[in-house]
Amino acid sequence: MKDPHDVIIRPVLTEEAYEGFPEKRYVFVVHPKSNKTEIKLALESVFKGIQVERVNTVRTLGKIKTQGRTSGRTPEIKKAYVILKEDSKPIEFFEGMAE
């Protein structure tokens, strides 16, 4: 198994993500080649005591940017929308942020 800290890159802290905290829905930027099982196992090992019910993933292609004659792409990112089980405790890192 990969190192859990290589799979989970960072949390997404936006207004839409804050609205999901009371329902135990969290959003993370994850490694582009990680799958749903790896994401679930990584989250459960990093944040002790949580139980992941469902993981949905979204890949976003980078935008095309031009500067003069040169054009390129911004990096591609992959987001994981994680829903915890009803009886699971919430992630302590996010407690108090959405209030």
pLDDT at residue 98, as a whole number: 63
Inside any domain, residue 30: yes
Count of structural domains within the chain: 1
pLDDT per residue as tens digits for the range 41-87: 999 999 988 999 999 999 999 999 999 999 999 999 999 999 999 99
Report the predicted TM-score, pTM, of the whole model to 2 decimal places.
0.86
Domain of residue 43: give its range. 4-88
Inside any domain, residue 71: yes
Inside any domain, residue 96: no
**Token digits for 91?**
């992630």
**Token digits for 15?**
């207004």
pLDDT at residue 2, as a whole number: 78
- In contact, 83 and 27? CB cutoff 8 Å: no
Q: Span 8-23, mean pLDDT?
A: 92
Return the CATH number at 10: 3.30.70.330
Give the chain's mean pLDDT: 91
Eight-state DSSP code of residue 30: E
